[in-house]
Structure 1
Amino acid sequence: MDGALHPGLDVARIRADFPILGTSSPRGKPLVFLDSGASAQKPRQVIAAMTRCMETAYANVHRGAYNLSEVATEAFEAARVAVQKFINAADSREIVFTRNSTEAINMVAHGYGRGVMTPGQAVVVSEMEHHANLVPWQMLRDAGRGIELRVCRITDAGELDLGHLEELLADGRVGLVAVTHMSNVLGTVVPAERVVALAHAKGAKVLLDGSQAAVHRRQDVQAIGCDFYVFTGHKLYGPTGIGVLWGRLGLLEAMPPLYGGGDMIAEVTLEKSTWAPVPAKHEAGTPAIIEAVGLHAAIDYVNAIGFDAIEAHERILTDHAMAVLSAVPGLSILGRAQDRGGVFAFTLEGAHPHDLSTLLDRAGIAVRAGRHCAEPLHARLGVDGSCRASFGMYTTLAEIDFLAEALGHARKFFA
């Protein structure tokens, strides 16, 4: 479909790498998958790498003094180095493997929030956070440790209100600013470097939830200047069960571990334990070995295509979607940020999001319906819920046109 929308990115060739995109819906309609923001599909290269690991190179890591364990350990640690290079971290020890972004944020809330921040300090989040970057900070606030939670407003266009952020930082008591790098509802791309500059000027650290951003644009944590960055493998065309916490080495060393158990210790007696150096200190128990191999393969796959091509392709998709969806009578797009990615949440007059999603599914179109783990954001925008179409590198202009056409038919159905 659509051929090469950008020199160097052949969408038809890319789609051929994803077996599921060649399947049909239960009603025999070609699958139009527009829910990559929830979880992206997997290319053959990732599937093959994980299968190969299970068939020829699987053993537990870091523990075995035999060849197969050494091979598995090398593959696991190679994945860590791949992540380091992917986000341009200074040191592979700064990469902690987690189950997902949610666990990574909880680790920071526990380790930095409870172990490093002091009573009287505050955490700043925004109105457009995913629950994963809100609930852990509410739990920290409610833990009786004297940590305040402050909420930065967004504008009516769905952009972070930097003026309000400055006000929240003004008293110098903010210990951490934890905000999304790209909204999973609005597609808004937050000006991360500006946020970091404002926060650091007042002595606050910055955590960026890169769950969406790391998929769509090249990320460089050293250039951004943040202190923590999290993302998850399953949105990056990799498997579920593997995520990443990047943190500055000194911060990871200062943070107490969230979990205790095997492989995160230096010494254990019946009276006490001491911790292994990072990152092992924060990786208790048998890790997601096969999933780490899959994440490495996904990173290799994305890197082979190149973010220049991916970003250019997405700009074309985003501009086209804004034009054709805006032309659908009765449809309202949530958010009009100047800098946005391929995530579109919308409502259709007279149609409940769940009913609309079900009707679209009959046409073979998979979109999300509900509040997308962002209830406060929907409340801020004055809607109970929305449908969401989110794009991947395999998304085509024809699929967006088909969505717009189906929405036009749905409007008549619900009228």
Structure 2
Amino acid sequence: MAASDPALIADAGSIPSEPGLALTAARGSSREAQLSPFSLPLPAFDIPFPSLGSTFSSIPLSPVFPTQEDAAATLNSPASLYFLQDAGVLSKPVSDSRLNLSDVRMTTLPDLKLPREQFDVASIRRDFPILQERVNGHPLIWLDNAATTQKPQSVIDRISYFYEHENSNIHRAAHELAARATDAYEDARSKVAHFLNASSSKEIVFVRGATEAINLVAQSWGRRHIGKDDEIVISWIEHHANIVPWQMLAAEKGARLRVAPVDDDGQILLDEYEKLLNHKTRLVSITQVSNALGTITPAHQMVQMAHRYGARVLVDGAQAVSHMPIDVQSLDCDFYVFSGHKVFAPTGIGVLYGKPDVLAEAPPWQGGGNMIVDVTFEKTIYQPPPSRFEAGTGNIADAVGLGAAIDYLDRIGMANIAHYEHELLIYATKELLTVPGLRLIGTAKEKAGVLSFVLDGFRTEEVGAALNREGIAVRSGHHCAQPTLRRFGVETTVRPSLALYNNFDDIDALVAALRRLKQLKG
């Protein structure tokens, strides 16, 4: 849609599905469009407004009216209408909320199959069938999202459809199902590229998950480019998956692993981090969001600092992708990794993003079919990236499921999700701190939806078991982040973690259950 064609967003009681007249005015004077309820859901995409120097996300196509009279009736109804007067849409400034049809350009739109756009947590919850489950006689409250997220019906249906209509190996066969499967698989790769704002789908490698992606970089790029006395920098708040592969590589190559410290809130100390960087630094590998604390790291700044010393940078986005918009071009990282199951997609599928030049200078890390151009007994010629790193039959169906999960998130809008979860996190933090004897672990100013805590007088597994008896699923343990927790003087924590389908009632139920548990020992 052109910049001169933003859409009217109005409170419409009923929207016909047939073609008709559409109003091309824009709603909202803020940079974040708050969508009004529609009887028919609408799709998301970005519309640039050059005069504002910005782009509005999640502004849908306008409602379609069969006649000019219907359009006029809607415009001059009590519905709240707001307009961007400097967006180059209106023929004259608007002084109040009423508008004459002469002020608005009328265009004809085709029949549109429009999905939902309004962020409505009650509606979103209905998209996830597992939330209808009962556990120990209670409705399931899923607060273990940092471990894995639940799947919307659209993802479940897409995987079923693949096995019912498209199932085949990809790329090499000439028959119809192979073509369908290949198209579905490569379409998912393109969706991932768009989701991360990568410049090309050729920068996207499918793997089993973030752990495999990190190991791929370590065993492929790392083995070639890291040698004796070279240095690898990580931080104190990394998942084991972003520690152990680098320890293994350092031990093999005689390299040194260096660790950036954090303060008592769980924030990386940037001054100390920069002191670790020098001409020996070959790689920096950092989390974008701590899985144990929820800390959002200053990843963009850390990438820039590392690049000044000539180091490559890997960003572990496993805990970030479900909470915030990701832009790898803006981040300027050399590698970015995440797991599908953390972002409402199936298990067993993940992504490695790599800049074209760094992927080109990395050798294959596994050999087999699909990643070759030609094989003789004397030598093998390898495919260029990304195929070079996808030996054998990949997880085709779950890659397609990942594409469906991205479609789902795109319809809602990651900015909308981030805004909603931030409000939920603030509420949850405030309410948890009212529980006597509860200590939050990780209190960084910038956090995603992870809340780790310990409760005086209780082992963490006791707390987890007590919550489970009331149908509340949380994680208790070390969260594969033992160095992180030991930095704060604990071995384990209880970790509720949030997602887009959680609501304030979930938080209230958690806090009430913790208060009852305290009273038992009171």
Instruction: Give the TM-score taking structure 2 as reference length.
Output: 0.77
Question: Counterpart of 1:24?
Answer: 134
Residue 215 of structure 1 aligns to a residue whose secondary structure is coil
> What's the CA shift string for 1:37-85, capped at 9, x where partnerless?
1000000000000000000111000111111101110110000000000
User: Which residue of the other structure, out of 317, 320, 326, is the alignment partner of 2:433?
Assistant: 326
1:409 aligns to 2:516 (yes or no): yes
Question: Counterpart of 2:323?
Answer: 216
Residue 158 of structure 1 aligns to a residue whose secondary structure is coil
Q: CA deviation at 1:18?
A: 0.4
For the 8 Å contact 2:282–2:310, the answer to whether it is kept is yes
For residues 289 and 203 of structure 1, the distance between their equivalents in structure 2, rounded to whole angstroms, comes to 37
Q: CA deviation at 1:379?
A: 1.1
Question: Counterpart of 2:231?
Answer: 122
Structure (1/2) with the larger helix percentage: 1
Question: Counterpart of 2:195?
Answer: 86
Bigger-Rg structure (1/2): 2
- Relative contact order (C-alpha < 8 Å, sep 6+): which is higher? 1
Question: Counterpart of 1:142?
Answer: 251
**Which segments of 5 or more consecutive residues in structure 1 lack a partner in the other structure?**
1-5
For residues 390 and 181 of structure 1, the distance between their equivalents in structure 2, rounded to whole angstroms, comes to 16
For the 8 Å contact 1:351–1:414, the answer to whether it is kept is no
**Which segments of 5 or more consecutive residues in structure 2 lack a partner in the other structure?**
1-33, 36-117
CA RMSD of aligned residues (A): 1.0
1:308 aligns to 2:418 (yes or no): no
The AA in structure 1 aligned to 2:141 is: V
For residues 413 and 234 of structure 1, the distance between their equivalents in structure 2, rounded to whole angstroms, comes to 37
For the 8 Å contact 1:192–1:224, the answer to whether it is kept is yes
The AA in structure 1 aligned to 2:259 is: V
> What's the CA shift string for 1:252-298, capped at 9, x where partnerless?
11111111111111211123222111101000000111001100000
> What's the CA shift string for 1:361-392, capped at 9, x where partnerless?
00110000100000111111100101100011
For the 8 Å contact 2:286–2:299, the answer to whether it is kept is no
1:111 aligns to 2:220 (yes or no): yes
Q: CA deviation at 1:116?
A: 2.0
The AA in structure 2 aligned to 1:36 is: N
For residues 519 and 148 of structure 2, the distance between their equivalents in structure 1, rounded to whole angstroms, comes to 31
Question: Counterpart of 1:241?
Answer: 348
Question: Counterpart of 1:70?
Answer: 179
1:201 aligns to 2:308 (yes or no): yes
Question: Counterpart of 1:365?
Answer: 472
Pair 196,180 (structure 1): closer, same or farther in 2 beyond 3 Å: same
Question: Counterpart of 1:3?
Answer: none
For residues 138 and 153 of structure 1, the distance between their equivalents in structure 2, rounded to whole angstroms, comes to 17
Mapping 1:239-388, distance limit 5 Å:
239-388=346-495
Higher mean C-alpha deviation, range 310-319 or range 263-272: 263-272
For residues 65 and 414 of structure 1, the distance between their equivalents in structure 2, rounded to whole angstroms, comes to 69
For residues 172 and 47 of structure 1, the distance between their equivalents in structure 2, rounded to whole angstroms, comes to 49
Q: CA deviation at 1:117?
A: 2.4
The AA in structure 2 aligned to 1:160 is: I
Mapping 1:48-59, distance limit 5 Å:
48-59=157-168
Question: Counterpart of 2:269?
Answer: 161
1:9 aligns to 2:119 (yes or no): yes
Percentage of identical aligned residues: 46
Residue 499 of structure 2 aligns to a residue whose secondary structure is coil
Q: CA deviation at 1:142?
A: 1.2
Instruction: Give the TM-score taking structure 1 as reference length.
Output: 0.97
For the 8 Å contact 2:225–2:282, the answer to whether it is kept is no
